[in-house]
C-alpha cells in the first residue's frame, strides 16, 4: 500500500525535516503540457507503454498539491525539443517562479543559433537550474554548438538536470558516453543525472564517483512501475550510500502513475538509514541550491 498524500507530511516530520526538496518536478505552458500528456496517454514512441498521469489539473492546483505534501522547494523543468522553443519556455518558467516562491527559477536550452547568448542572459537573470532531455530533444550532448554553454554553466556552478540515460526508450543520443565526454571536457560541470541514468545505472554511478560535481536524482527509481522494466542493481546500494551527499530527491511530479508518497516509501525501504534519508530529501538540495525556505514561506 503506497503512502497516500495526506500521510506524506507525517513521514517527513518523523525525520525532523522542515519539508521536502524535489529537484525533478515539471511545469509547462498549458498547450505544451497537454501535448506531453497526450504522449503519455498514448504510450508514444519515447514512452513505450501506457503511462497514466495521476496529478492532472491546473498549475495552481498542482502547486497547492505540492504545498499540501510539504514540498517546500521544487523545480519547474521544461525542455525544448526543437529550435526556437527554449526562450519561450524560459520566459514562461521565469514568470512562474515570480508567482510561486518555492519554485526554482528554471530554464532550458537547445543546440541552435544564439544558445550561448540566451543561456548567458538566463544566468545573469538568476536561473537556478537548467534541464535538457536528449531523448526527447534528439540531440547529442557533445554537439559543438553546446560546448561554450557547458563552459558557462560549469563556471557559474549552476546545476543542469540531464535526462541522458536510455530509459524508458533508448535512442542514438542516449547512454553514458556523450555525458562522459562532456564531463571530461568540463569536469567542473554540476550535472544532476535524471532517473540515476536508468537503465545504465552502473555507468552513471561511476561518473558520479569520478566527477565530484555530478549528482544523481531518485526520480521513479525503485518504484514498482519502474522496477518492471529497469530494476536497480542492488549490489550498487553500498556505492549509492557512499554518494549520499550527491543523491537528490526527484519524483517526476505530476507525470507519475502512483501516489507521490510511493517514491518516499521505496527510498526508505532501501534501509540506508534516517541520516541518509534526511540528506536525500532535504539537506542535499539545500546545500546545492541554497536554503531559502523561510523566505519562500514569508512571501506566500
pLDDT digits over 63-90, tens only? Answer: 999 999 999 999 999 999 999 999 999 9
| Cell 530554464 -> residue | 107
255 and 136 in contact (C-beta within 8 Å)? no
* CATH entry 3.20.20.140 includes domain 5-299: yes
What are 135-190's pLDDT values in tens digits?
A: 999 999 999 999 999 999 999 999 999 999 999 999 999 999 999 999 999 999 99
Q: What is the per-residue pLDDT for 292?
A: 58
Domain boundaries, the chain: 5-299
| Range with the poorest average pLDDT among 16-20, 41-45, 210-214, 233-237 | 41-45
Helices vs strands, H then E, count in the chain: 15, 8
**Which residue in 249, 257, 197 sits closest to 225, CA to CA?**
257
Q: What is the pLDDT of residue 204?
A: 98
Specify whether the CB–CB gap between 286 and 73 falls below 8 A. yes
Q: What is the mean pLDDT of the chain?
A: 95
How much of the chain exceeds pLDDT 90, in percent? 93
260-287 pLDDT per residue, tens: 999 999 999 999 999 999 999 999 999 9
User: How many CB atoms are located within 10 Å of the residue 195 CB?
Assistant: 26
Amino acid at each position: 500500500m503506497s503512502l497516500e498524500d495526506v500521510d506524506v507530511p507525517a513521514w517527513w516530520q518523523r525525520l525532523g525535516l522542515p519539508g521536502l526538496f524535489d529537484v525533478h518536478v515539471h511545469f509547462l505552458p498549458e498547450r505544451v503540457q497537454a501535448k506531453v500528456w497526450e504522449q503519455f496517454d498514448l504510450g508514444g514512441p519515447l514512452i513505450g507503454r501506457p503511462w497514466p498521469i495521476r496529478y492532472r489539473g491546473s498549475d495552481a492546483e498542482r502547486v497547492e498539491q505540492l504545498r499540501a505534501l510539504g514540498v517546500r522547494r521544487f523545480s519547474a523543468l521544461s525542455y525544448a525539443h526543437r529550435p526556437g522553443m527554449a526562450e519561450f519556455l524560459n520566459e514562461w518558467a521565469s514568470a512562474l517562479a515570480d508567482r510561486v516562491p518555492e519554485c526554482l527559477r528554471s530554464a532550458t536550452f537547445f543546440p541552435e543559433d544564439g544558445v550561448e547568448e540566451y543561456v548567458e542572459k538566463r544566468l545573469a537573470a538568476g536561473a537556478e537550474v537548467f534541464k535538457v532531455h536528449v531523448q526527447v530533444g534528439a540531440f547529442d550532448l557533445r554537439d559543438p554548438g553546446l560546448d561554450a554553454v557547458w563552459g558557462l554553466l560549469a563556471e557559474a556552478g549552476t546545476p543542469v538536470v540531464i535526462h541522458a540515460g536510455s530509459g524508458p526508450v533508448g535512442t542514438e543520443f542516449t547512454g553514458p558516453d556523450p555525458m562522459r565526454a562532456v564531463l571530461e571536457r568540463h569536469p567542473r560541470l554540476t550535472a544532476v543525472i535524471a532517473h540515476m541514468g536508468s537503465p545504465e545505472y552502473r555507468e552513471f554511478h561511476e561518473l558520479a564517483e569520478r566527477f565530484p560535481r555530478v549528482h544523481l536524482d531518485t526520480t521513479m527509481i525503485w518504484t514498482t512501475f519502474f522496477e518492471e522494466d529497469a530494476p536497480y542493481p542492488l549490489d550498487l546500494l553500498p556505492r549509492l550510500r557512499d554518494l549520499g551527499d550527491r543523491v537528490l530527491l526527484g519524483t517526476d511530479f505530476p507525470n507519475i502513475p502512483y501516489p507521490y508518497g510511493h517514491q518516499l516509501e521505496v527510498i526508505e525501504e532501501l534501509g540506508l538509514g534516517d541520516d541518509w534519508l534526511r540528506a536525500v530529501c532535504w539537506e542535499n538540495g539545500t546545500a546545492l541550491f541554497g536554503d531559502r525556505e523561510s523566505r519562500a514561506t514569508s512571501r506566500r
